[in-house]
């Protein structure tokens, strides 16, 4: 891990660190408890995200932290320059995997039976018949001193030569994916505290239905840069409507910040899903988890090739 005294710690970085320590974070951020399922759904629908503490117990948090560390070591072994695949010192766990997922790892499989997430996602979709898209997430290293542009993780249909991952199309051109009920949810788990300094995700509340063009880094007002989901404790989960504007922020701490995730499609929404778990591993899952990952499992006759890669997500 790159420490606080690395070559990247310039006077400008020290000034940024002091500024973020004083100013970073969404004012009045509500962090709920697992008992607050109904309120969690309300906040999710209002803001496009919600944070719930104690989604993982201490043992599960430690297991997940170790799993992330193993995956990170494998990825960084391919990238001595720390160029990243989401910008310098930034990486997608999915984009760094040959399967676009980490579902082959037992630490991510453990998350499939998380009851806190199940209760909230069921409340969001008003159904238990949602399906897993992938098990992914991201991490950023100390020295990720820039901001990732604000973006959304889902979009309206584009031709398949551009991307296979776009599904909604209204030939009348009256509706966009932002006019629909939430089609796609991401649950980011926190294996460590997220602080003002270690690259908290910035979320712009209420933008999940906005048709306004997302501002570029040059256009983005300072309040948006400081609209970060922190502080938040290890073991918490942040559940997001992926249409809401969000982006990465500087990690000027001395620790790697990881936010592994599970991604879910609504019962009525699909995009292409890449197999991420072997049939043998699938058979070891609970009945509920098997139902959830049924579109992610490789055929029993197929060999699932896993491993790190540095392709862009």
Q: In this structure, are residues 241 and 208 in contact, taking their beta carbons and an 8 Å threshold?
A: yes
Q: Is 165 exposed, middle or buried (0-12, 13-18, 19+ CB in 10 A)?
A: middle
Among 13-22, 145-154, 161-170, which stretch is predicted with the lowest mean pLDDT?
A: 161-170
Select from 112, 133, 132, 135 the least CA-distant residue to 286.
Answer: 112
Evaluate whether the domain defined by 11-157+167-292 bears CATH number 2.60.120.620: yes
184 forms bridges with which residues in the sheet? Answer: 265
pLDDT at 4 over 50: no
Residues 6 or more apart from 309 whose CB is under 8 A from it? Answer: 78, 96, 97, 98
In tens, the pLDDT along 71-93 reads 999 999 999 999 999 999 999 99
pLDDT at 227 over 90: yes
In tens, the pLDDT along 280-311 reads 999 999 999 999 999 999 999 999 999 999 87
Domain positions in the chain: 11-157+167-292
Determine the pLDDT at residue 313.
62
Token pair 């008003």 in the structure block, residue: 126
Among 36-50, 92-106, 148-162, 205-219, which stretch is predicted with the lowest mean pLDDT?
A: 148-162
Q: What is the 3-state secondary structure (H, E, C) of the chain?
A: CCCCCCCCCCHHHHHHHHHHHHHCCCCCCCEECCCCHHHHHHHHHHHCEEEECCCCCHHHHHHHHHHHHHHHHHHHCCCCCCCCCCCCCEEECCCCECCCCCCCCHHHHHHHHCHHHHHHHHHHHCCCCCEEEECCEEEECCCECCCCCCECCCCECCCCCCCCCCCECCCCCCCCHHHCCCCEEEEEECCCCECCCECCCEECCCHHHCCCCCCCCCCCCHHHHCCECCCECCCCEEEEECCCCEECCCECCCCCEEEEEEEEECCCCCCCCCCCECHHHHCCCCHHHHHHCCCCECCCCCCCCCCECCCCC
Q: In this structure, are residues 226 and 23 in contact, taking their beta carbons and an 8 Å threshold?
A: yes
Average pLDDT value over all residues in the chain: 95
| Parallel, antiparallel or unpaired: strands 137-140 and 257-265 | antiparallel
131 forms bridges with which residues in the sheet? Answer: 265
d(CA 89, CA 83): 6
d(CA 186, CA 137): 9
Quote the pTM value: 0.95
d(CA 187, CA 41): 13
Q: Average of pLDDT values for 37-64?
A: 98
pLDDT at 3 over 50: no
Q: Is 115 exposed, middle or buried (0-12, 13-18, 19+ CB in 10 A)?
A: exposed
Determine the pLDDT at residue 107.
98
Q: Average of pLDDT values for 56-72?
A: 98
Reported confidence tier of residue 5, pLDDT bands at 50, 70, 90: low
pLDDT at 160 over 80: no
CA separation (Å) from 257 to 65, 195, 279?
10, 9, 32
d(CA 84, CA 80): 10
Reported confidence tier of residue 272, pLDDT bands at 50, 70, 90: confident
d(CA 233, CA 194): 6
Tokens of residue 245, six digits = 């504007």
Tokens of residue 36, six digits = 């607050």
């Amino acid at each position: 891990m790159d420490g606080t005294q690395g070559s990247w710690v310039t006077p400008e970085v020290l000034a940024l660190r002091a500024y973020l320590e004083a100013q970073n974070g969404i004012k009045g951020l509500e962090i709920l408890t697992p008992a607050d399922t109904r309120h969690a759904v309300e906040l999710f629908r209002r803001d496009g995200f919600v944070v719930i503490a104690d989604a993982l117990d201490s043992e599960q948090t430690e297991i997940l932290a170790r799993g992330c560390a193993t995956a990170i070591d494998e990825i960084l072994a391919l990238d001595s320059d720390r160029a990243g695949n989401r910008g310098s010192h930034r990486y997608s766990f999915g984009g760094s995997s040959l399967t676009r997922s980490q579902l082959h790892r037992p630490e991510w499989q453990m998350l499939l039976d998380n009851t806190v997430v199940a209760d909230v996602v069921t409340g969001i979709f008003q159904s238990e018949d949602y399906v897993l898209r992938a098990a992914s997430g991201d991490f950023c290293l100390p020295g990720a001193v820039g901001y990732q542009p604000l973006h959304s993780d889902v979009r309206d249909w584009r031709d398949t030569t551009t991307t296979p991952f776009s599904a909604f199309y209204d030939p009348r051109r009256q509706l966009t994916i932002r006019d629909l009920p939430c089609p796609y949810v991401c649950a980011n788990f926190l294996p460590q505290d997220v602080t003002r300094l270690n690259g908290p995700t910035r979320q712009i509340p209420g933008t999940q239905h906005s048709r306004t063009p997302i501002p570029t880094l040059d256009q983005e007002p300072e309040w948006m840069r400081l609209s970060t989901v922190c502080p938040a404790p290890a073991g918490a989960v942040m559940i997001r409507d992926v249409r809401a504007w969000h982006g990465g922020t500087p990690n000027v701490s001395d620790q790697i910040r990881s936010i592994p995730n599970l991604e879910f499609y609504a019962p009525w929404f699909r995009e292409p899903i890449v197999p991420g778990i072997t049939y043998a591993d699938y058979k070891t899952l609970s009945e509920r988890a098997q139902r959830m990952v049924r579109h992610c499992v490789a055929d029993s006759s197929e060999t699932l090739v896993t491993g790190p890669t540095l392709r862009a997500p």
